[in-house]
A and B are shown apart, each in its own frame.
Chain A
Amino acid sequence: NAGVTQTPKFQVLKTGQSMTLQCAQDMNHNSMYWYRQDPGMGLRLIYYSASEGTTDKGEVPNGYNVSRLNKREFSLRLESAAPSQTSVYFCASSPIQGGSYEQYFGPGTRLTVT
């Protein structure tokens, strides 16, 4: 069991470039999440997918798009990167059923936009 995997681990982009962050989980979880983490601000939800085929905006969705490709995979796309998107991005998954609400996190992607 790999749990939640994210690629890449590090990325440097120039302003205006685009990229996709990949996330996959092998725990058969229904729900998946994308967060960004900035110093002193905790974790902020960008987008989430409650189940395969659905996606919804979180607290800070502007500048991002997501795709729930199948039950395992949930990708985050930056269409035109801006320096304000420099952050650490975490993907998480959760069963959200049977009374289990724990979120399992990937190792993160450190993104710098210059």
Chain B
Amino acid sequence: QQQVKQSPQSLIVQKGGISIINCAYENTAFDYFPWYQQFPGKGPALLIAIRPDVSEKKEGRFTISFNKSAKQFSLHIMDSQPGDSATYFCAASSGDSNYQLIWGAGTKLIIKP
């Protein structure tokens, strides 16, 4: 029940296209859903996060869509650029676990020029 399932494992998108990465969870106590971006040789860095009281959050070209009833959330990258090529991790946490993050397995995104 603590798992966060992320798909796909890898994704190739043409420059200018939309990249979509999906995550699903089981624990209904989760109330914080961040996405992290990791470049090769670096640590992950927070990209965008959402709380379950909203269904969508947008920051520039990055949007999180959240479906509470389906227990799913997704990251959309609009107008994908080669600089977006990285590994993306979804995660989830809750206050009753002191906001320890439960991580998805990651998606390696390659944007082809």
Residue of A44, A58, A90, A101 near B93 (CB, 8 A) is A101
Hey, which chain B residues are within 8 Å of A105, CB to CB?
43-45
Known: A40-B9, A43-B44, A43-B89. A102 touches B100 (CB 8 A): no
Residue of B32, B43, B100, B104 near A58 (CB, 8 A) is B100
Hey, which chain B residues are within 8 Å of A107, CB to CB?
41-43
Q: Name the interface size band of chain A.
A: 20 to 34
Query: For the complex, what is the distance from the CA of A10 to the CA of B39, rounded to whole Å?
Result: 18
B77 to chain A minimum Cβ distance, whole angstroms, is 19
Query: Are A90 and B43 in contact (CB-based, < 8 A)?
Result: yes
- Binding site of B, secondary structure by majority: helix, strand, loop or mixed? loop
B25: Cβ under 8 A from any A Cβ = no
Known: A101-B32, A101-B93, A102-B49. A42 touches B42 (CB 8 A): no
Query: For the complex, what is the distance from the CA of A29 to the CA of B13, rounded to whole Å?
Result: 38
Query: Are B34 and A102 in contact (CB-based, < 8 A)?
Result: yes
Query: Are B43 and A101 in contact (CB-based, < 8 A)?
Result: no
Query: For the complex, what is the distance from the CA of A45 to the CA of B93, rounded to whole Å?
Result: 13
Query: Are A50 and B98 in contact (CB-based, < 8 A)?
Result: yes
Hey, which chain B residues are within 8 Å of A96, CB to CB?
98-99
Query: Are B42 and A94 in contact (CB-based, < 8 A)?
Result: no
Known: A40-B9, A42-B89. A106 touches B43 (CB 8 A): yes
Query: Are A94 and B43 in contact (CB-based, < 8 A)?
Result: no
Hey, which chain A residues are within 8 Å of B101, CB to CB?
43, 45, 103
Kindly identify, within residues 33 to 52 of chain A, every residue whose CB is under 8 Å from any CB belonging to chain B.
33, 40-45, 48, 50
A81: Cβ under 8 A from any B Cβ = no
Hey, which chain A residues are within 8 Å of B106, CB to CB?
40, 42
Query: Are B105 and A42 in contact (CB-based, < 8 A)?
Result: yes
Chain B: residues with CB nearer than 8 A to chain A? Answer: 6, 9, 32, 34, 41-46, 49, 89, 93, 98-101, 103-106
